[in-house]
Amino acid sequence: MKKWVSIALVAVVAMTFVGMEGCNGTTAGALTNVNVSVVDDADGNPGGGLHVTWSAPSEGTPDEYIVYVDGTAQVAVTTTEDYVYTPCAEIEVAAVYGTEEEMSSSVDIGAVSTSSIDLWSVDDISPNHPSGFGFASGGSAGTYAVSSEANWPEIDYYIASGPAIASPSDHLPTPLNDEENAVSMETGTFDDLGIVAETGQGLYLTNRDLSNNGLYGLWIDANANGWDDGDHFGKLIVNSIDAGTYHVNISVAYQTEGGLRFVVE
């Protein structure tokens, strides 16, 4: 009886050590501390890329590392850093031991969407109808009546005559706040738009006419100083316009990572 117990114990110990080793006989540890920081894209445009860094495993020496962008592998590297220029919502990094991979926890950089927002242009006579909208730090959008001055600090954009979408700084006779936010024209579909237009190329306006099914990029420049990593970007689609009632319905998505132009949800 004791002989059988000893054999079973040896088998368990052997299986434990096999599970801790990669197929090349090295201990297969997982990497840690995956971080991303916003960088220029491959053409030097601000906010179009990510620098991904991580810490090597405390046990084992990987043969290489692979960064996964929304589940798709980039070219393997042997250093503890890589760059991502493909718009995405999730990044993971694998430590590779032979044919085995130890995957890190994921980094979520997906844009936060808010669907079917009802707004009215400032031409609407009802003081309670919201003309403005703004984003919370978590990315969700809220609506605000421009008629109440108490709401002005929360407004990132408002619906002007036209209808048009306008920066708070364009409101007359008094700006709603000090932000100089802007809007670009985009093409394609809301779901497929992965990155909004680059800054510094004259592609953004602080007041832009809206059209049915129009697709737009959002640049929220709270400091009114051009691009920096405190800015935020997003996208907007017009679902409907009713000129007779000054009513506009939109959907938006907001990137919470400061300075990043990726808007994949």
Copy the structure tokens of residue 140: 């969700």
Answer yes or no: are the C-beta atoms of 22 and 97 closer than 8 Å: yes
Range 45-71 burial, b when 16+ CB lie within 10 A, else e: bbbbbbebebebbeebebeebbbbbee
Please spell the DSSP secondary structure of 172-196, one letter per residue. SSS-SSS---EEEE--S-TTT--BP
**Eight-state DSSP code of residue 77:** B
Write out the chain's pLDDT in tens, 265 residues. 433 444 443 444 444 434 445 555 556 789 999 999 999 999 999 999 999 999 999 999 999 999 999 999 999 999 999 999 999 999 999 999 999 999 999 999 999 999 999 999 999 989 899 999 999 999 999 999 999 999 999 999 999 999 999 999 999 999 999 999 999 999 999 999 999 999 988 999 999 999 999 999 999 999 999 999 999 999 999 999 998 899 999 999 999 999 999 999 9
Answer yes or no: are the C-beta atoms of 152 and 179 closer than 8 Å: no
Alpha helices in the chain (DSSP H): 2-19
What is the structure's pLDDT at 201? 85
Give dist(CA 146, CA 45) in Å, integer. Answer: 34
State which H helix or E strand residue 3 sits in. Answer: helix 2-19
Answer yes or no: are the C-beta atoms of 91 and 68 closer than 8 Å: yes
Give dist(CA 254, CA 86) in Å, integer. Answer: 18
Copy the structure tokens of residue 37: 């920081």
Nearest to 249 by CA among 176, 166, 168, 143: 143
User: To which residue do tokens 């004259």 refer?
Assistant: 202
What is the structure's pLDDT at 243? 84
Give dist(CA 47, CA 50) in Å, integer. Answer: 8
What is the structure's pLDDT at 29? 85
Give dist(CA 257, CA 109) in Å, integer. Answer: 7
Query: Domains, the chain, ranges and CATH?
Result: 2-108 (2.60.40.10), 112-254 (no CATH)
What is the structure's pLDDT at 4? 41
Q: 90-97 and 107-108 as β-strands: parallel, antiparallel, unpaired? A: antiparallel
What is the structure's pLDDT at 11? 43
